[in-house]
Amino acid sequence: MSDKKRIHFIGIGGSGMSALARVFLEQGYPVSGSDMVRKHLVKELEQMGATVYIGHHPDHVKEADLVVYTSDIPEENAELVEAKRLLLPVMHRSDLLAEILNGKKGIAVSGSHGKTTTTSLISFLLEKAGLDPTYIIGGEMMNGGGNARAGQGEYVVAEADESDRTFLKYHPHIGVITNIEPDHLENYEEDYRKMKEAFLRFANQVKPGGKAVICLDDPDIREIASHIKSDTITYGMKEEKADYLAREIDQGDGLSFLAVERGKELGRITLHLAGKHNIYNALAALAVARYAGISFDTIAAAMEEFRGAKRRFQLIGEVDQIRIVDDYAVHPTEIRATLRAAKETGRRVLALFQPHRVTRAYYLFGEFGRSFQDADRVYITEIYSPKGDKKIEGVDSGKLAEEIRKGSGVEVQYISSQEEMVDALLQEAKPGDLILTLGAGDIYKVAHRLIEELSH
């Protein structure tokens, strides 16, 4: 890749693909791509000089020297088929990321939850410390800088995705595991044990001289910890033997805690983030930053400045004392943590839930049912099913609504369309309420529509 070849990204508007495209654009490569919709990430890439086609056509790859695709791109995609017919080099996104990450001091952040916030925070800390990192994130930082940056420093920070097992392609200098929970089991032969074995393998792929950074409070990480051959740095809130601990936790306007490093008090850290789960993300970032040689004062100042990642308990707006927040939560554990953070505001919580993937709903059906206890009222819409998701008979939002009503003991209303959901919320919402949109699909559009309607 040293001779600035033209790279074509199929599905360039996705969070992961657009991040990679941005890095190569900043490094001076000619970049093209295609997508079905001209999203804001696509527009930003066009402004940077990328050629982006709306729609897929074989002609789009004729000038490419390398074609990049993701697991969501079907084999029959016209551009992928043409690239193979022309015998062009074709790479999965994860292979291209592996070339970048494995070639430098890679910091790969894995885990079932918290990857985007933790990756964003680590990137922000390294940047504020003057280490000029390259970072490739599955979301956008609220502080600016988007979802990617091509730095000149020795560190590359990226999310390591376990959903399709591609995190096993990375051999990082620092490998973070935030937590492990059953999800995406369709890619692990429906066997949670095999998923845990994959995380163990990831930890053991840390390069010699590097560190595996792991959360000791997580029971499944503790289960594999004794089999990790890499040197480890541990963190937690409960396990006293952890290298990094959070003490004297204060959940007022944001979060504050006393950071302890191997028994020594470092000082207080303040975060303008909601939810106790973000303390774990901060501890992981603290452990990485300290290993990278950053002073605690620099870390504490940067953490206080950090404003999180978009779609991670993101305040969309407040009108007539009705607050609207959007969150990417898709897994029952993420939903519980996000709803807990919402409940801690003292407001009545109206949760708008868009399930993501039929397969996830199937495997975690009962868990979803028990995850909404901190909501005062739940609205559920159709399952957002991306390409490649299986159709499973008997799994739908209507049945999920019944399970939530039974398992969480809250009032649940199934509404098929987003337009009807907006109308229902405009009728129901009162001053002092918190409306929370939950899901990885396009439910965030409801949050923005509500702000528009309430502002009229």
Per annotation, catalytic residue among 70, 82, 105, 116: 116
Beta carbons of 138 and 320 less than 8 angstroms apart: no
Per annotation, catalytic residue among 140, 159, 162, 403: 159
**Token output for 114:** 């918290």
Alpha-carbon gap, residue 286 to 69, rounded angstroms = 34
**Token output for 163:** 């959903």
Q: Which residue has the tokens 């607050």?
A: 323
Pairing of strands 155-159, 148-149: unpaired
**DSSP 8-class letter at 133:** -
Phi, psi dihedral angles at 405 (to 5 degrees): -60, -40
Beta carbons of 151 and 157 less than 8 angstroms apart: no
Q: Is 39 a catalytic residue?
A: no
Report the interhelical angle of 15-26 vs 40-47 (nearest 10°): 10
Rg (CA), the chain: 22
Which residues lie closer than 8 Å to 396 by C-beta, 6 or more apart? 383
**Token output for 238:** 């409960």
Q: Is 116 a catalytic residue?
A: yes
Report the interhelical angle of 15-26 vs 93-102 (nearest 10°): 50
Q: Which residue has the tokens 């402004």?
A: 47
- Residue 174: CB atoms within 10 A of its CB come to 24
Which residues lie closer than 8 Å to 96 by C-beta, 6 or more apart? 20, 68
**Token output for 288:** 């990485």
Instruction: Beginning with the edge strand found earlier in the chain, give each strand of the sheet holding 51-54 in spatial order.
Output: 51-54, 31-35, 7-10, 66-69, 90-92
Alpha-carbon gap, residue 96 to 136, rounded angstroms = 12
Phi-psi region of 14 (alpha: psi -120 to 50; beta: other; left: phi over 0): beta
Local structure of 62: helix, strand or coil: coil
Residue 316, CB-side half-sphere exposure with 13 Å CA sphere = 25
CA distances from 236 to 3, 179, 241 (A): 45, 11, 9
Alpha-carbon gap, residue 156 to 101, rounded angstroms = 6
Phi, psi dihedral angles at 27 (to 5 degrees): -90, 0
Per annotation, catalytic residue among 70, 82, 105, 115: 115
Q: 347 has which bridge partners?
A: none
Which residues are tagged catalytic?
Answer: 115-116, 159
